[in-house]
Structure 1
Amino acid sequence: MNKIANRQVICEVLMEHAKEDRDVVVLCSDSRGSASLAPFASAFPEQFVEVGIAEQNLVSISAGMAKCGKKPYAASPASFISTRSFEQAKVDVAYSNTNVKLIGISGGVSYGALGMSHHSAQDIAAFASVPNMRVYLPSDRFQTRCLMEALLKDEKPAYIRVGRNPVEDVYEEGNVPFAMDKATVITQGSDVAIIACGEMVKPARDAAGILKEKGISASVVDMYCVKPLDEETVIRAASGAKAVITVEEHAPYGGLGSMVSQVVARECPRKVINMSLPDAPVITGTSGEVFAYYGLNAEGIAGMAEKALGRG
C-alpha cells in the first residue's frame, strides 16, 4: 500500500524546481504542516510566505507576487480556499489572469470527523464556474507529479485539489500516460463508460475488474482535468457505450457529473448516472468509510453500472 500522499509529492516537485528557480514561491495559511510543505519552508525560507489563518490575504498576496514576476503556489485547506477566498480567487487571480496556482489540500471528505465545516464538496463547482480558472484533481502520486511539472511550465491560474491521506496507486512509476488537459483512458469497453476524477479513479478501475468477471465490458476514464473538460474523450467514451457513470467526491450539483451530462446530452444522448456525495452533510468517518456508505467504492460503482444496464 502506498504511503506517500499527493500533497507530499507536490512539496517534492516544488523543492526540486525552487533550487533552480528563485521565482518559485510557496504561501501558506498556517497550513505548512497539513500541506506537507514544512520541508519547503525549512529549505527555502526566503521563498516561503506564512500569512497565518487569513485565506483571503493568502490569495491576494499571491496575486500581487505573480504580478511582480514570481510564481506563487498558495496552499490551504480546500474547504477554506474555495469559500473564504472565493472572491479573491475570482477577481485577483482569474479575472486578472495572474500566474497563481491554488492548492486545495485535504479535499473532499478527507478531514473526516471534523465534518461539513472542513469538507470541500462544492469546490469543483465554484472554481469551474469562474472564467480563466482551471480545475485539476490528480488521481495518484505519479499523476500528481506529472501535473505539477506541467503547471510549472505555464503562467495561467489553476486550482489543484488533493486529499489528505495516501491513496492507492493507479499508475506505475515511469509509466504514467499523461497529456496536459487530456483525460487518460485506462480501459476500453463497450457496455458502460465510467468517468471519474481524483480519488474516485482507483475504485472506478477496480469496478471495471468486477464487471469484467460478470461479462460486462467497461471503459474507465481518468478525468483529472475537470476544467477544461476533455469533451472529445467524453464523447468517444459515451458513444461507444450503452450508459455512462460519473463518479466524484463532490456534491451532486455543478461538478464532473453535471459537466459530463451536458456534453453527452448535446453530442451523443445516453443514460448518464452521476455518483457523488449527497446534497446533505455527510456521515462522520474516514474517507473509506464515507465512500463505502454512499456506494463510492468498487462494489458500489459496479452495482450502479449493472443497474444502469438493466442487469442489477
Structure 2
Amino acid sequence: MMGSKGNVGQDQSTLFRGDDTELRLKDERSVRGTPAKAMPAFILGEELADLADSDPRIVVATADLANSSRTRDFANRHPERFIDFGIAERNMITAAAGMASCGLIPYVATFASFCAILGAEAIRTDCAYPRMKVRVVGHHSGISMGFYGTSHHSTEDLGMMRTIADLTVVCAADANQLRAILRASVEHPGAMYIRLGRGRDAPVYDDVPSDFAFGKAIRLREGTDLTIITTGSQVHASLAAADRLAEEGISVRVVDMHTIKPLDAEAVRSAARETGAILTVEEHNIIGGLGSAVAEVLVEEARIPFRRHGIMDEYSLIGPPAALYAHYRLDAEGVAAVARELLEGKA
C-alpha cells in the first residue's frame, strides 16, 4: 500500500490512472470488468471495421498484438483485409506503404515504442517521404506500460514523429475522440501517426466530436489566469486539475491540442494574449513533444510565464502505472500543483 485516500468503489479507469484513489499494486477486479467502449485502444478494431463496411480500401495490420489493440475485432468482421505480421514491426510499416501505393488505406497498429521508435526510419522513408496514406497507430504510449519497463515506454515518440516532414501527428484523449480521428483520417492526405494510451483513459468527450479537424485545437474550458495546453492521456487530468484550481479562485483555460503536427499556432497565441501564462502537460519527455512545439510558437511572441510539464529528460521509472503518474505529477493533483508553482513564479 503506497497511499490511502479511502475511495471505495472507484472504476477501473480511475484505479489505473491514479486519479483520486489510493495507489495499489494489485486490485481484486479484473480489467475485463471495464467496459470495452470506454477504452480508446479497445474500440480501434470496432471503429475501423465499421468504416471498412462501406470502404473497401481500408485494411488493418498488427505485429502480434491483435488482442492488445483489439484489432481482433476488425479481423473477426473483415478477415480477408487483416494481416498479422508477427513480431516484424518495421516490415509491417514498409509493407503498408506498398499497400498504400496500390490505393489501399492501411492502418497498422502496435505498441508506440515499437512503431514510432523502432519503426521511425520506415515511417519517414517509406510512408511520409512518398506521401503514402499509411496510418500508424501507436497504442500503449507514454508510461502506461508500467512494469514492462523502459523498452516498452515511449516518452520520445512525439518528438521523433513531429520532426518528420509531411507526417500528421495526432493524440486521442478518449474513445469518442479516437472515433472522430479515425473517421477524419480516411480522406486525409499523406501519412499519419495516431497516438493512443493503454485504453483506460477516463472519458473526456460525451459524444463523438462532429466538428473534429486535424490542426484545430479544442477549447474545453474557459479561463483567464492560465491556459493548460495538453494532449492525449493528460486531457482528463488537466480538466480535473482546473476544477481543483477553480475552487481556489484560479481561472484556468484548458485546450486539447490533439494535433501535435500541424500545431494550432493561433490557439497558442490566443492563450498567450488572453490568459498571460501557459502550462503544457503531456505524458512525454518535456523535450521534443508538445511543450517544445508550443515553445516554438511562443518564442516569437511577447514573453509570458511558461512551463513544460511532463517527464523530465530521463528514462522513466518502472512500476505500476498509477504510481508512475503520481510520481511524475501527471495526475490531477500533480498538474494542479505545477500550475500553482507557475503562477507563483516558481517555474
Classify the TM-score, shorter chain.
over 0.9
| Alpha-carbon distance in 1 for matches of 2:343, 2:143 | 30
Q: Is the 8 A contact 2:225 2:277 kept in 1?
A: yes
Secondary structure at 1:82's aligned position in 2?
helix
Whether 1:308 and 2:342 are equivalent positions in the alignment is: yes
Amino acid at match of 1:172: D
- Using the TM superposition, name which of 67-76 and 18-27 deviates more: 18-27
Secondary structure at 1:159's aligned position in 2?
strand
**How much has 1:122 moved relative to structure 2?**
0.5
Whether 1:209 and 2:247 are equivalent positions in the alignment is: no
CA 211–177 in structure 1, closer or farther in 2 if over 3 Å, else same: farther
**How much has 1:302 moved relative to structure 2?**
1.3
Correspondence 1:164-203 to 2 at 5 A? 164-173=198-207, 178-203=212-237
Whether 1:281 and 2:315 are equivalent positions in the alignment is: yes
**How much has 1:21 moved relative to structure 2?**
1.8
Q: Is the 8 A contact 2:175 2:203 kept in 1?
A: yes
1:218 aligned partner: 252
Give the one of 73, 89, 114 matched to 1:55: 89
**Structure 2 unaligned regions, length at least 5:** 1-10, 14-34
**How much has 1:285 moved relative to structure 2?**
2.4
| Alpha-carbon distance in 1 for matches of 2:164, 2:210 | 30
| Alpha-carbon distance in 2 for matches of 1:255, 1:306 | 22
Q: Is the 8 A contact 2:42 2:199 kept in 1?
A: no
**How much has 1:163 moved relative to structure 2?**
1.1
2:274 aligned partner: 240
2:80 aligned partner: 46
1:104 aligned partner: 138
Secondary structure at 2:308's aligned position in 1?
strand
Whether 1:292 and 2:326 are equivalent positions in the alignment is: yes
| Alpha-carbon distance in 2 for matches of 1:239, 1:259 | 18
**How much has 1:175 moved relative to structure 2?**
6.0
Q: Is the 8 A contact 2:174 2:201 kept in 1?
A: yes
**How much has 1:242 moved relative to structure 2?**
2.7
**How much has 1:154 moved relative to structure 2?**
2.1
**How much has 1:155 moved relative to structure 2?**
3.2
**How much has 1:41 moved relative to structure 2?**
1.3
**How much has 1:174 moved relative to structure 2?**
5.3
2:18 aligned partner: none
1:72 aligned partner: 106
Please give the TM-score of this superposition, normalised by the length of structure 1.
Answer: 0.96
**How much has 1:180 moved relative to structure 2?**
2.9
4+ residue stretches of structure 1 with deviation over 6 A?
none
2:41 aligned partner: 7
Please give the TM-score of this superposition, normalised by the length of structure 2.
Answer: 0.87
Q: Is the 8 A contact 2:279 2:307 kept in 1?
A: yes
**How much has 1:195 moved relative to structure 2?**
0.5
CA 39–175 in structure 1, closer or farther in 2 if over 3 Å, else same: closer
**How much has 1:53 moved relative to structure 2?**
0.6
2:21 aligned partner: none
**Structure 1 unaligned regions, length at least 5:** none
Q: Percent identity between the aligned chains?
A: 36
Give the one of 268, 285, 294 matched to 2:302: 268
Give the number of aligned pairs. Answer: 312
**How much has 1:283 moved relative to structure 2?**
2.2
Q: Deviations over 1:99-122 (max 9, x none)?
A: 000000111111110100000111
Give the one of 168, 173, 185 matched to 1:134: 168
1:18 aligned partner: 52
Correspondence 1:138-177 to 2 at 5 A? 138-173=172-207
Q: Is the 8 A contact 1:242 1:309 kept in 2?
A: no
CA 202–177 in structure 1, closer or farther in 2 if over 3 Å, else same: farther
Q: Is the 8 A contact 1:121 1:250 kept in 2?
A: yes
CA 70–177 in structure 1, closer or farther in 2 if over 3 Å, else same: closer
Q: Is the 8 A contact 2:242 2:251 kept in 1?
A: yes
CA 175–43 in structure 1, closer or farther in 2 if over 3 Å, else same: closer
